[in-house]
Amino acid sequence: MCKLSLCSYQKDSTTIKRYEFSPSLLCSLRDYNWRRGYFSEERRHQVSVLVSTMALVGKIDDFRPEVEPWTAYIERLEQYLEANDIDEEKHVAVLLSVMGAKAYGLLRNLVQPEKPKDKTFGEIVDILKEHYETKPILVAERFCFNRCNQKTSQTVAQYVAELKQQAANCDFGASLDSALRDRFVSGINKIDTGAAKSVISHSTYLKKFSHLPLQPAKVKLKAYNGGRICVLGQLVAKVVYEDQATDLPLLIVKGHGASLCGRNWLTKLRLNWQQIKYVGEPKHLSLNELLDTYNDVFKEELGTLKDIKATIVVWQYALWALNAPHKCLTLIGCSAVCI
Domains of the chain, by residue range, sit at 4-52, 70-132, 199-270, 302-339
Q: Which stretch of DSSP H or E encloses residue 19?
A: strand 15-21
d(CA 34, CA 16): 25
- Greatest CA separation for the chain: 125
Instruction: For Cα atoms 176, 181, 187, give the angle at the middle one, nearest 5 degrees.
Output: 120
Residue 315 three-state SS:
coil
Q: Show the 3-state SS of 29-87.
A: HHHHHHHHCCCCHHHHHHHHHHHHCCCCCCCCCCCCCCCCCHHHHHHHHHHHHHHCCCC
Q: Work out the number of other CB atoms within 10 angstroms of the CB of residue 220.
A: 8
Q: Tens-of-pLDDT digits for all 339 residues of the chain?
A: 444 444 443 444 444 344 445 555 556 665 656 566 655 666 666 655 555 555 577 889 999 998 898 999 999 999 999 988 888 999 999 999 999 999 999 999 999 999 999 999 999 999 999 998 877 788 888 998 998 888 767 777 888 889 998 898 898 988 898 888 888 877 766 655 567 888 998 988 998 888 988 999 988 887 655 678 889 999 998 998 888 999 999 999 988 777 888 888 888 888 776 666 555 555 566 667 767 777 776 676 766 766 667 776 666 555 555 555 555 555 555 444 444
CA distance 82 to 316: 87
Burial 239-273 (b: 16+ CB within 10 A, else e): beeeeeeeeebbbbbeeeeebbbbeebeeeeebee
How high is the pLDDT of residue 292?
A: 77
What is the pLDDT, as a whole number, of residue 284? 61
Q: Quote the pLDDT of residue 255.
A: 83
Beta bridge partners of 278: none
Sign of dihedral through CA atoms 280, 284, 289, 292? positive
- Whether the model clears a pTM of 0.75, i.e. scores above it, the answer is no
Nearest to 231 by CA among 270, 262, 271, 273: 262
Taking the C-alpha atoms of residue 240 and residue 255, their distance in angstroms, rounded to an integer, is: 26
**Which phi and psi (to 5°) does residue 27 adopt?**
-65, -40
Cβ–Cβ < 8 Å for 209, 237: yes
Compute the distance between CA of residue 252 and CA of residue 233 in angstroms, rounded to an integer.
Answer: 5
- According to the model, what pLDDT value does residue 55 have? 54
Measured distance CA(61)–CA(3) in Å, rounded? 23
Count the neighbouring beta carbons within 10 Å of the beta carbon of residue 29: 15
Contact 106, 23 (CB under 8 A): no
Q: What is the model's pLDDT at position 328? A: 58
Give 312's contacts (C-beta < 8 A, 6+ positions apart): 337, 339
The residues facing 236 across adjacent strands are: 249
CA separation for the pair 204, 126 (Å, rounded): 48
